[in-house]
Structure formats: structure tokens, C-alpha cells
Amino acid sequence: MLEVFTWLADWLVYGVAGLNPESKLGTSLHFFVEDTTKIFALLVVMIYVIALVRASMNLERVRHYIQQKNRMAGYGLGAGFGAITPFCSCSSIPLFLGFTSAGIPLGITMAFLFTSPIINEVAVIMLWSLLGWEFTLVYVVIGMGVGIGGGMILDALKGERWLKDFAAKAYQQAAVAPLSDEPAPETPSLTMRDRHEFAWNELKEIVERIWKWVIIGVGLGAILHGFVPDDWFSNNLGSGQWWNVPAAVLAGLPLYSNATGVIPIMESLITKGLPVGTTLAFCMSTVAASFPEFIMLKQVMLWRLLATIFIILLINFMLVGWIINLLAPWLFSSL
């Protein structure tokens, strides 16, 4: 079904514009037209459909559900809901305080916040269409793993010691008087019209927010695709020395992007011979460790906790890179 977009790009680039399929410009432009049309078509349909389903989901219900579970299940749920809950990064602080003041451990709350920028419906749709389902699955497992692992380490280090006073107090009060005995928040009853309105607004809002990223991301990916020779990375960086991974993580840090902008670039990096683990480490570092986000968290955390979180994330990304590079020959027969 998705071949339609290849035909469209063939027709526009090689037919109408008359470019040579062998030329660098022709290949780049073909990549750009095919990927942007495909991504936008998929996004519009899928965001709307997914939003219809999750219109009745809200953070109050998610929080109540997480509270009911034991701690170990809590990490998984935290990361899982982080992946599927519609959530804008400007709500990080209210969410953090809402969870903390309900007595949810810091590590579980952070598992939610770690996973949230890495996995979302837009990232999954793009990965699936550009890199296939095997890669998407590995990406989701890793994203959840980074969240769950990060959260557990943070609790093992007793990170809650380094919360700002008012947040720490709210957490302790909740431990004395748990909210978890309260009845679950009511499920809002929604008509089809409500759902449509919600989904339509979501669609407009998300597309408005990400369209530039798609264009920039696919544009950079297209340039890499057409102008960088095949296997450039494996010829120039060697085939995956250990230091490539930390270098990729450091290179990703100052780049602040969301998953939408990075995924088309990942596709090109991999086809040009950058090892999959190194590529993923770069991607996670760009997406999940962003300075604006950290500065926001400063409102509820002491520097010590922020620094700890930052280091935990960096170590996690490097582990991801090394482990996936080791496993890649078994995981991706197709790449």
C-alpha cells in the first residue's frame, strides 16, 4: 500500500522535474518527496484514530491506577503510561508534583517522564514506516528500558533526599495519609461527537507542532541519503570501536530535537553504515536529555538530583549503544 508514495515520488522527481535517478540531487529529492508525503499521510490518519480511542484517558486516572500497584509493577506502568499518555512537556512540573504529592515514588514518576519524550505515537508511526516493525519493537523496548532502569536506579540512590523542600514535604505527607483509598476518578462518558472533537483538536495541535520537524528531519536525512557515499561511516569511523558510542551520546547532547526530527536522520545514518546501537544512542541522547527540560525540573529539584538524573541517563544511553551493537547481527537480519 505504501508503494503509492514511491510511485508519486518517481513521477514527480524523475518524470515532472526530469531529474536523473542516478544523480545525487535526484536521489535526495526522491527520498524527500517520498518520505514527507508518506509520513504526513500516515500521521494524519493515525493521530486521529489513536486520539479517538484515548479521548477518555486522563492523568488523574493514570495516577490512580499506578497507585494501586506495588512498586515493581509501578516502574513498568510508569514507563508504559509515559509512552501512551498524551502529554505536553510544559506539563512536566504539574505532573511531577501531582504524582509526588500522591505518594508515588520518585523513580516511578521519573520513569514516566523519561519514557514520555522517547516513545509516542508519532515516533512509532514514523519508525514503522521508515525502518520496519523489527526496529520499531527494539526501539520501544529500549525506550521503556531506559525509563524503568533510570527510575529504579534513582530510587536505589534515594533520590527523593534531593527534592526541593515543598516537594519533599508533599511526598512525606502522602506517605502518612495515602490517597490510594479514594475511589477511582470517574470515567468521563463521551459521545462520539466529543471524541471526534478531541481527536480533531489533537490532530491540529500535533501537526502544527511537528510539521517543521518532519521537514527539517527528512530534509537532513535526504541530504545524507543522496550526498554521503554508502558505507561512509563504516569506512571512516571503523566498524564500531567502543568509543564511537560515547562520542555519539556526547554529539547528541547539545542537539535538542524531538523524536520526529531525529527519526528520518536515523534512517539515513543506518543505511550509510553507522552501527544501529550507535545510531540509537545518538537518537536517545538528542531526544531524551534536553536542557530546557532539565531547567524546568530545577523548580522542584536540587542541583544534586538533576546532576544524578543526567548522569544516569548518559550511562543508560551508552549501555543501549553497546548492547545493541553487540546484538545487532541477531536482531536485524534485514538491516
Partner 1 sequence: MKKIEVLGTGCKKCTVTAEQITAIAKELGTDVEVTKVTDPQVIMRYQVMSTPAVAVNGQLAHSGGIPNREKIEALLKA
Query: Taking the complex as a whole, how short is the minimal distance between the CB of residue 286 and partner 1, in angstroms?
Result: 21
- What residue type is 6 in one-letter code? T
User: Among 94, 132, 238, 329, which residue sits at the site for partner 1 (rule: CB under 8 A)?
Assistant: 94
DSSP state of 229: P
Q: Distance between CA 27 and CA 251 in Å, rounded?
A: 27
Q: Is the separation of the CB atoms in 99 and 174 below 8 Å?
A: no
Task: Please give the Cα distance from 183 to 322 (Å, whole number).
Answer: 45
Q: Which is nearer to partner 1, 37 or 257 (CB)?
A: 257
Asked if 56 touches partner 1 (CB under 8 A), the answer is: no
Kindly tell me which of 91 and 241 has the beta carbon lying closer to partner 1: 91
Q: Which member of 38, 63, 225, 272 binds partner 1 (CB under 8 A)?
A: 63
Nearer to partner 1, 9 or 300 (CB): 300
* Residue 94 or 238 with smaller CB distance to partner 1: 94
23 binds partner 1 (CB under 8 A): no
Q: Is residue 90 near partner 1 by the rule CB under 8 A?
A: yes
Residue 3 Cβ vs partner 1, minimum distance, rounded to whole Å: 38
Q: For residue 291, what is its C-alpha cell?
A: 536542557
Q: Rounded CA gap, 248 and 76, in Å?
A: 28
* Residue 299 in contact with partner 1, rule: CB under 8 A: yes
Considering the rule CB under 8 A, would residue 182 count as an interface residue with partner 1?
A: no
Exactly one of 12, 46, 52, 93 binds partner 1 (CB under 8 A); that residue is 93
The stretch among 20-28, 83-91, 127-135, 256-264 that binds partner 1 (CB under 8 A) is 83-91
Q: Which of 67, 10, 42 is nearest to 214 (CA)?
A: 42
Name the packing angle between helices 276-288 and 259-271 (round to 10°).
Answer: 160
At residue 163, the 3 state secondary structure works out as strand
Residues in the chain: 335
Name the residue with cell 459521545. 191
Nearer to partner 1, 218 or 309 (CB): 309
Helix H or strand E encompassing 57 = none
Q: Which stretch binds partner 1 (CB under 8 A): 58-66, 70-78, 272-280, 308-316?
A: 58-66
Least Cβ distance, residue 139 to partner 1 (angstroms):
26
> Three cell numbers at 254?
547539545
- Please count the CA atoms within 13 angstroms of the CA of 132 that sit on its side-chain side: 8
Site residues for partner 1, 188-227, by CB under 8 A, read: 201
Q: Which is nearer to partner 1, 92 or 136 (CB)?
A: 92
Among residues 42 and 296, whose Cβ is nearest to partner 1? 296
Give the closest residue to 125 by CA, choosing from 183, 222, 206.
206
DSSP string covering 5-46: HHHHHIIIIIIIS---TTSHHHHHHHHHHHHHHHHHHHHHHH
Quick one: 99 or 139, whose CB is closer to partner 1? 99
What is the smallest separation between the CB atom of 91 and partner 1, expressed in angstroms?
5
Q: At 1, which helix (H) or strand (E)?
A: none
| Contact flags string 139-178 toward partner 1, x per CB under 8 A | ---------------------------x---x--------
CA pair distance 265, 257, nearest whole angstrom = 11
Residue 55 or 288 having the CB closest to partner 1: 55
Point out which residues bind partner 1 (CB under 8 A): 58-60, 63, 87-88, 90-95, 97-99, 101, 166, 170, 201, 296, 299-300
